[in-house]
Structure 1
C-alpha cells in the first residue's frame, strides 16, 4: 500500500506559554499513537511536533489512506451454552452471531464455520471475521478527538460558536483557548475532519503583523514549516524557534562585547519561546544607579515580570544592559528598544525603593513582628517557630562545635573555648533572625528572595559575616543539585530549620501523600541527608531527630520512628538514582547506619565484596544463619571451646578468632572494603560447618553453643551491611 505524510494543525488564540511545549508534544504523540493503534501509521512513522503561541501541529510520516483489513477471532460462549445436545445452534448463539453481522440464514452452516477450542476447564466457541481497515478520514477524526481530549490543559475555558442550523442559537465549546482554524492534509489532499466547530482545510494564518499573505495556503503536508516561514513569517517548530533565540542571544551578547553573557535560565527560555512566533533579540539598557540594588532583585524582576535576559559580566556580576526577545522585526527598532527601557525603569525603581526602605529597620527590630504571622494553626506563629529553630540549632551546635572549631578558617588561631562561644552565639543569632526578612517589603514583593535579602540586610546591620551567610544559606539546598551552606554556622541553622519542619509536620500527622507535598517534606529530608553525608557532621541521624523533638513541648507526638523511616526511604531513592543497585542499597540501609557519611563507603565496599568469588556462597550462608537465629529467638554470642566437638565447628571458631580482630580493626578505621575482603576467608570453614555440623543438636548445651557460634559469625559478617540481601 502507498503512503503519504500527514499534517494536522489547530490554529487557536494565544496558548498559555508555560504549558505550550507540553501541549505541543502531547498533541503530536497522542495523535500518532492513535493512528498507529488503528493501523494507519506504523512504528516506523516519524512524528514531528510543532507548537507556536497560536498553533499546535503534528507531522506524521508514512500514513495510509486506508488501513489493512485485520483478521479477528472473538470468543462467543461455552459450547455447552451455544449448542444444544444434538449440536444445533442455540437461540443465544444465533442472536450473538447476528449481532456480529454473521449470516445466520443457514444455522448449520453458521455453526460449521465456528471454531471450538479449550478455554480453561471448558470448551468454547470462537468466531473468525475480517474487520475492514479504517479509512483515514474516520481514523484521523477519532485520533484528533482523542488527542484533544488528552491534552494536559492547565485550565479549560468555555466559549460559544454560532450554530450552522436554520434556527438561531449558540453552542458551547470547552477548550484551552478559542480555536479558529483547522488544517488536515494527507500529502496534498485535504482530509475532511471536524473538531471544535471547525472543518479542515489547507489554509492557516501567519504572523499577526508581518505575514506576507493574510491567508497562508499549505500546498503539501511536507511544506508546512517552509511555507509558514516564507509566507507567514512564523517559525512553527518549538525546538527550532528556541534554537534561533539562543543563537540571537549569543550574537547580541558578542555585539555588546566586554565578555558579557546572557543569564542562563532554561525555564525563561522555554517561556519566551512560547511567547513569540518570529523572535528578534534587541539590546536595551537601564541607568547604572540601579546596580546599587542587590543584583538578585534586579534579575528577578527583569526575568519574572518582563521576560528579559539580563547580561552578566565575566565575573557573573549584573551589567546595566539586558536583552529583549521581540516578536516583530521593524526596520528601525529604536521604538521597541525605547519602549522596553521605559517599561523596565519603574520595576527597577520599585526594587530600589523596597531596598532603601527595608534598610531603615534592622533585622533585630523585626523579630517581634514574627509573633503576629501565623505559621500553622497547630504549630503556632513564625515567632514560636523561630524559638524552636533556635533551640534545635543550639542543641546541634552543642554537639558538634568541639570538633569543627579547628576546621573554621576564620578562627583557626583562636582558643577553643572562645571559638566555641563565638560560633554558638553566631548560630543563636542567625536562627533568631533567619525568618525576619519575611516581614520586609522586598520579600513581600518577591518571596523567591527570602534568605537572600536577609543576608544583605544582616550585612547592612554590621552583623558578623557568619550570621549573614547563615541567614542567606539556611534555605539551602533549595532543589536537587543545589549547593549546601558555605560554613558550619549556616549548616547548623539549615539543619535546624529543616528538622523543625520535618519533626513538626510529622508530629501533627501532616504527611505527604502521593504527589502532594505542600511543605516540601521530601525535599527537606533529602536536604538533611545531603548535609549529614557530604559535610560529615559528627551526628547520628536518630540522635539528631531526638534532639529536635523537645523543642515542640506538648504540641506534637514523638514522630522519630516514622520520620527516621521516611528519611531512609528518601536516601534509598536517591542512592538508586545515583546508579547503585537496589540489592546494594538494601544491604547497607538494612543496618540503618547512623553516620550517613559512611553510607557511600559502605556501598563501595559491598560492590567490591559482591565481585569476589566467595561472595555468593557467603551471602547465601548468611541468609541461612539469619533464618536459624530468627527461629532460635534470643541467642547469646558466647562460645565455649570445650563444647566444640566436630572438626568443622572447631575450624570455623578458629577462623573467626583469626580473622575477626583484623576485620574489626579495619572496620573501626573506616576501611569497610578491606574488612569485608578479610571476612571472605570464612567461606571454606562456613561451607564445611553447614555440611558436617547439625546446629539443632538434641543435646541442649551443644545446640546453644553452636547457635552462639553462628551468632558471633553473623555479627562479624554484618557490621558493614546485611550480606543476606545480596543472596539471589
Structure 2
C-alpha cells in the first residue's frame, strides 16, 4: 500500500475571527477522524492544522492510497429459516445474500447464536481508496463543522446555491505530489492557492508536494498558515516591543486569539495617544482599545495604563510611519468619546439616577431594575441579621459594628445598579459596577461603599477575585441570591447547555463566597430569606426553593470533584449539608485521611449497617439505659463509645476534624464484636429499644464530620 503525507486546503474569503481557531481545529479533527475510521491513516500519523483569515487546512502524515482489506463475518439469518430440510438455501437466504453483495454460492458457516443456530458468511471487504475516503470525509465535514452562522452564496454558474461559513474559492488535495481528485462546494481539487493579499511574491502559488505547503506559503506567499505559530509570533513580538519601552502588554488570551485570526503576516507596531486621555479611568480606555480597535495597551510596572499601545498590522512596509499614524488617528475619537462620557456622567450623582431604574425592565415577570434593587436591599439586610445572630462568629470588629455594616450595605445596594443609566455603561456594558465605583468616589462616598458597588458583581467568571470588603461580600451574595431565587421562582431553570441568565455562574459565585469567606450561614436559610423579599404571588414555581437548593448543592459537589476530591469523599461530606461551608475542605481532608486507616472499611460498612437498621426500625427513640445492657459485647461497646465519642467530640469542637475521625478507629473491635454476639431485635421490647438507642448514639458519634456510610464499597 502506498503511504504518503496528505495536504488539504480550503481557500476562502475572510473567515469570522472569533470563530477561526475553533473552525481550524474542528476542520482538521473531522477530516482526520473520518479517514482514520476508514482505515486510511497509519497508527503513528501526526496531524497539523492550518487556519488563517483566508484558509483552513490540514497536513496529515502516513496516509494510505487504499485501506487494507478487512475480514468480515456477516450474520445472515437463523439456519432454520435460511436452509430447507435438505440443506438447500431458501429464497429468503438468497435474497439476503444478494442484498449483502454476496454470491449465491458463498460458503456459509453454521454456528450457535444464543440458543439457536444461525448462518454466517465469511468474506473479505476491499479497503476504501483515498479518493472515495477523502470525498466522504469532506462531505461529512460540511455537515459537522461548527459554523456560527451559515452563509448562502451562488457558484460560478450563477444558479447553484451552496452553504458554508464564507465563499470558498479554492481546494487543494495532495497525496504526496499527486492531486487527489475530490470536489467540494462546486470546486475540483488542484494544487494552487493564493498567498498574502498584498505582499505575496507570486500571484498564484503552486504547491508541488504536500510537505511543501507551510514553507511555500511563508517564503513565497508571505503567510504563516499555522494558527499556533502565528499566535506565538505575535506574542513574541508584543513582548519584545513592550520590553524596548520598559512596559508590558496587557494579557488577554481572547484578544490574542482574535488578532491572530485577523492577520496572515503579523507585524507589531508601537503607537501612542495624548497623555490627557489618561485622566479617564483606565478600564474605559483599555476596553475601547481592545474591543473596538483590537489594540494591546501597554502597562507600567505597577499595572497602570500608559499612553503607549501596540498594533498588530497585517503588512510590513519599509516605512511603517503611515500605518502608525493611521492607527493613532483612528483611536483618538474613540478615546475622546470615552472622555466625553466620563465627564458628562459625573455631572449627575448616582442617587439622582436611582429613580430612573423604575423604567428599566429587568424581567417581564420580575419587574424593573428599581424593584430588583429594593429586593437586593432587603436580602442584604437579612444576611447581616443572620451574620449578627450566627453562633459561629463572623469577624467584624465588634457586635455593634453590624449596624455600621448594615448601613453601608443599604447605601451600596441602593446605588449598585445606578450606573446602568450612565452613558459610559450604555456604551460599554462590561464596565457596570466599575464605573459605579469611580462615580461614587467622585461624589465622596465612603470607600467601602464605592468598592462594594464594583465588587457586588464578583466573581464575574471562573477564577475571578471575590469582593474585597464586608460590604461588598454581603451585597454580592444578596445580588446573586436575588437572581437565583427570582428566576427559579418563575420556572426559568437552566436546561442542558442552555443557561441564558448564567445561573450556573451565579450559583458558583454563591458557593465561592460562602466557602472562601467562611461565612457562618446556611444555604436553606439564605434562600428562604431571599424568597421573602419578593412580593406575594410573584414567585409561581411551586418547588422553586427545593429545586434551587438541589441545583446549588449539585454545583458545589461538581466544583469539589473538579478540585480533585473523589465522588465518595464529596458525597460523604455534603450528605450532612454542613455549615459553614468554609469547613468543607477541612472535612474532605479529614475523610481522605480516615479512609487511609486500616479500620476505615470495616467502620464504614458498620456505619452503613447501623443506618439501615435504624431506618427500618419502627421503635420510638428512647434514651440509652446502661442498666439494660445485658450482653458483654454491648457493654464493652457502650464503654468504648463513651471514651471515643468524648475524645472525638472534643476534637470536633476544636475544628480538628481529621483527629476527630481518627479517634473513632478505636471502635472497630467493639463494633465488630457487637454485631457478632448481639441480636439487636431482641424479643424484649425494652432491651430492643435500648440496643437501638446504643446504635443511634454510635451513629451520631460517627457521622459528625461526614456520613461515613458513603465510604462503604
TM-score of the two chains, using structure 2 as the length reference: 0.97
Verify: 1:372 aligned to 2:359, yes or no: yes
CA contact (8 A) 2:111 2:119 kept: yes
Partner of residue 29, structure 2: 29
Secondary structure of the corresponding residue to residue 492 of structure 2:
coil
| Pairing of 1:216-231 with structure 2 (within 5 A) | 216-231=205-220
Moved more, 572-581 or 388-397: 388-397
Distance 2:618 2:504 in 1: 37
Distance 1:510 1:147 in 2: 35
CA shift at 1:352, angstroms? 0.5
Distance 1:100 1:271 in 2: 51
Verify: 1:300 aligned to 2:287, yes or no: yes
| Pairing of 1:504-543 with structure 2 (within 5 A) | 504-543=486-525
CA contact (8 A) 1:253 1:260 kept: yes
CA shift at 1:587, angstroms? 0.3
For residues 49-73 of structure 1, the C-alpha deviation after alignment (integer angstroms, 9 at most, x for no partner) is 0000000000110111111111111
Distance 2:289 2:476 in 1: 29
CA shift at 1:679, angstroms? 1.1
CA contact (8 A) 1:229 1:236 kept: yes
Verify: 1:666 aligned to 2:651, yes or no: yes
CA shift at 1:659, angstroms? 1.6
Partner of residue 200, structure 2: 211
Partner of residue 242, structure 1: 231
CA contact (8 A) 2:487 2:493 kept: yes
2:425 to 431, 440, 443: 443
CA contact (8 A) 2:28 2:48 kept: yes
Partner of residue 343, structure 2: 356
Partner of residue 144, structure 2: 150
CA contact (8 A) 2:393 2:520 kept: no
CA shift at 1:634, angstroms? 5.2
| Pairing of 1:303-702 with structure 2 (within 5 A) | 303-400=290-387, 417=400, 419-554=401-536, 555-556=538-539, 559-633=544-618, 635-636=620-621, 638-702=623-687
1:159 to 135, 147, 153: 153
For residues 639-693 of structure 1, the C-alpha deviation after alignment (integer angstroms, 9 at most, x for no partner) is 2222211110110011111222221111122111111111111000000000011
Partner of residue 58, structure 2: 58
Moved more, 559-568 or 366-375: 559-568
Partner of residue 129, structure 1: 123
Distance 1:138 1:378 in 2: 56
Distance 1:53 1:162 in 2: 22
Secondary structure of the corresponding residue to residue 472 of structure 1:
helix
CA shift at 1:516, angstroms? 1.1
Secondary structure of the corresponding residue to residue 123 of structure 2:
strand
* CA separation of 1:431 and 1:622: change in aligned 2, threshold 3 A: same
Secondary structure of the corresponding residue to residue 155 of structure 2:
strand
Task: Count how many residue pairs are aligned between Structure 1 and Structure 2.
Answer: 709
Verify: 1:139 aligned to 2:133, yes or no: yes
Aligned-pair Cα RMSD in Å: 1.5
2:697 to 704, 708, 712: 712
CA shift at 1:702, angstroms? 1.6
CA contact (8 A) 2:35 2:133 kept: yes
Secondary structure of the corresponding residue to residue 356 of structure 2:
helix
CA contact (8 A) 1:541 1:596 kept: no
CA contact (8 A) 1:635 1:707 kept: no
| Pairing of 1:171-190 with structure 2 (within 5 A) | 171-190=160-179
CA contact (8 A) 1:498 1:524 kept: yes
* CA separation of 1:260 and 1:156: change in aligned 2, threshold 3 A: same
CA shift at 1:399, angstroms? 3.0
CA contact (8 A) 1:629 1:707 kept: yes
CA contact (8 A) 1:183 1:200 kept: yes
Secondary structure of the corresponding residue to residue 118 of structure 2:
strand
Distance 2:423 2:88 in 1: 88
For residues 224-263 of structure 1, the C-alpha deviation after alignment (integer angstroms, 9 at most, x for no partner) is 10000011100000000000001110111122x2x31000
For residues 582-624 of structure 1, the C-alpha deviation after alignment (integer angstroms, 9 at most, x for no partner) is 0000000011112111111111110111011100000000011
CA shift at 1:416, angstroms? 5.6
Partner of residue 183, structure 2: 194
CA contact (8 A) 1:228 1:235 kept: yes
Secondary structure of the corresponding residue to residue 152 of structure 2:
strand
CA contact (8 A) 1:470 1:493 kept: yes
Q: Point out where structure 2 has 5 or more consecutive residues left out of the alignment.
A: none
Secondary structure of the corresponding residue to residue 162 of structure 2:
strand
2:108 to 84, 103, 114: 114
Partner of residue 16, structure 1: 16
2:269 to 267, 278, 282: 282
Secondary structure of the corresponding residue to residue 170 of structure 1:
coil
Secondary structure of the corresponding residue to residue 162 of structure 1:
coil
CA shift at 1:635, angstroms? 4.7
Distance 2:629 2:407 in 1: 61
CA shift at 1:43, angstroms? 2.9
Secondary structure of the corresponding residue to residue 226 of structure 1:
helix
Distance 1:139 1:28 in 2: 15
* CA separation of 1:65 and 1:91: change in aligned 2, threshold 3 A: same
* CA separation of 1:647 and 1:231: change in aligned 2, threshold 3 A: same
CA shift at 1:170, angstroms? 1.4
CA shift at 1:395, angstroms? 1.5
Moved more, 151-160 or 633-642: 633-642
Distance 1:633 1:515 in 2: 45
Distance 2:226 2:61 in 1: 16
Partner of residue 166, structure 1: none
Partner of residue 41, structure 1: 41
CA shift at 1:379, angstroms? 1.2
Partner of residue 4, structure 1: 4
Distance 1:275 1:502 in 2: 39
Distance 1:192 1:431 in 2: 67
Distance 1:609 1:315 in 2: 46
For residues 118-145 of structure 1, the C-alpha deviation after alignment (integer angstroms, 9 at most, x for no partner) is 1122211111111111111111111122
Secondary structure of the corresponding residue to residue 45 of structure 1:
coil
Distance 2:620 2:698 in 1: 12
CA contact (8 A) 2:504 2:555 kept: yes
* CA separation of 1:78 and 1:402: change in aligned 2, threshold 3 A: closer
Partner of residue 726, structure 1: 711
TM-score of the two chains, using structure 1 as the length reference: 0.95
Secondary structure of the corresponding residue to residue 552 of structure 1:
coil
Distance 2:652 2:399 in 1: 30
CA shift at 1:92, angstroms? 1.0
